[in-house]
Amino acid sequence: MDFQTWWLIFVPLLFALGWIAARVDFRQMLSETRSLPNSYFKGLNFLLNEEPDRAIDAFVEVAKLDPETTELHFALGSLFRRRGEMERAIRVHQSLLSRSDLPQADREAAQHELAQDFLKAGMLDRAEQAYEAVLDTRFAVPAVRALIRIYESEHDWPRAIDAVKRLRALVDEPVPQLVHYHCEMALTALSAKPADLAAAEAALDAADNAARELRKDNGSAASEVRIAILRARLAAAQGNSEGERKYLVSVLNIAPQYGSLVAADVLESHRRLGQADEGLELLRDHYARHPSLDVFNVIFREIRGTQGHRPAWAFAREALRAHPSMLGLDRLLEVELAMGEKRPLEYSELAGHDANGEPGAAAPSAVLEIAAGADFSLLRSIIHRHTQRLDRYACRVCGFEARNFYWQCPGCNGWETYQPRRLEEIR
């Protein structure tokens, strides 16, 4: 390439222009720094000295003088909320909302942040109002989700259902807990005095529709199990014993692992129809295929009460041999103690003699090993001390343990997180 003489002028000119631009930028930066109010630097100093209250007051003053500090307030508010300092977070966001010159986008963001502050602080009424104020903004989806949680905590199931419908209009995603909302409404109607059977049936029909939609998205069987259990309760309230039995037995087919929740009711429904033996055989067949502690307990109690201790212990021996369980042994001894109050269990009977001392059928060897000379009360108390911590249900998400089965965890508020099996059975 040929050398051009005018390059000698052009290159130095470029350097000169760059130097001038740099000087202008530096002066502008110094000018902007000088224009910052003293309150800004006071606020930073207070933060460094761990005086957050005075820092907030200083930054509030900065916000009134300089609208460009809005992002600083949002950052401070979020920081205080994460630290659990809810009063300070609320003050920061309320100070933003009190400004008349705040841009609309920032006002909506501040309102949403304030709603989160109220929710975390447990001020549900104020949180609800704050979230409702941003339902028509870009924060509509998170606001509706938060409102659903609020209505859940208040057990306001009709409003929770309406909120879910609004969420479905905004985003196309399944909401599994919708089935349980309808079930809660049905439970409320059935628990009323007198029971509102029409409202309960309508709520269960709605629950069926919601479950059908979930089935398309591979929903779990737990919601269908709960519907069947409530349908059985409704049928019983209507005097329909056959319908009650049908719904309870359907649980064993829909989700066999939930048989422990309905085993006692299945047996009782058969008894009301004069089919106690058929109900017992059904449970024994179910236990053979899907063993669980609660089903074992129901079967043992029934055999012990109707057929005597020998068949009951024979069943228990085979069951505990196939599925060893400290809880099972604890329940077995509990029944024996309860029965002993009505009719003391004589060792002569266990050893192969009847109550009159005549030779009889030999008792199972397992019975002799446990009962020969044993103090059932002492034996049970020792075992019971070690099984108390195992006789619980546990949430898969947060680990919250409870003696009763819950469809919604009292700890993390998650739905269908409890397994229908005791801790000993899942460890």
Is residue 297 domain-shared with residue 254, that is, in the same domain? no
pTM attached to this predicted model: 0.76
Shared domain for 267 and 352, answered yes or no, is no
pLDDT tens readout for residues 385-420: 666 777 889 999 999 999 899 999 999 999 999 989
Count of other CB atoms within 10 angstroms of residue 142: 14
Helices (H) and strands (E) in the chain, counts: 22, 2
For residue 418, is it within any domain? yes
pLDDT at position 197 is 96
Q: Is residue 382 part of a domain?
A: yes
pLDDT tens figures, 300-342: 889 988 988 888 888 888 888 888 877 777 777 777 677 654 4
Buried b (16+ CB within 10 A) or exposed e, 54-83: ebbbbbbbbbeeeeebbebbbebbbebbee
**Cα–Cα nearest to 65, from 46, 42, 91:** 42
In terms of residue numbers, what domain contains 322? Answer: 291-390
Selection from 29-38, 54-63, 255-264 with the highest mean pLDDT: 255-264
Residue 254 sits in the same domain as residue 309: no
- Cβ proximity of 314 and 336 under 8 Å: no
Q: Which two tokens stand for residue 410?
A: 């009292």
Mark which of 288, 315, 331 sits at the end of a domain.
288
> Which tokens is 319 given?
């069951």
Q: Is 319 domain-assigned?
A: yes
> Annotation-wise, does 183 bind a ligand?
no
Same domain for 341 and 258: no
The residue from 288, 314, 335 where one domain ends is 288
pLDDT tens track for 127-181: 999 999 999 999 999 999 999 999 999 999 999 999 999 999 999 888 889 999 9
Answer with the one of 288, 322, 357 that is the final residue of a domain: 288
Please indicate, yes or no, whether residues 337 and 405 belong to a single structural domain of this protein. Answer: no
**Is 395 marked within a binding site?**
yes
CATH code at 194? 1.25.40
Which of 311, 361, 312 shows the shortest CA–CA distance to 332?
312
Higher pLDDT residue, 266 or 15? Answer: 266
Residues 337, 356: Cα–Cα separation, whole Å: 22
Tokens encoding 228: 């069947």
Instruction: Report the number of distinct structural domains present in the chain.
Output: 3
* Same domain membership, residue 348 and residue 278: no
Asked if 254 and 201 sit in the same domain, the reply is yes
Indicate if the pLDDT at residue 31 is higher than 80.
no
Shared-domain flag, residues 191 and 241: yes
Stated length of the chain: 427
For the chain, the average pLDDT equals: 80
Listing DSSP states for 57-121 in one string gives HHHHHHHHH-GGGHHHHHHHHHHHHHTT-HHHHHHHHHHHHT-TT--HHHHHHHHHHHHHHHHHT
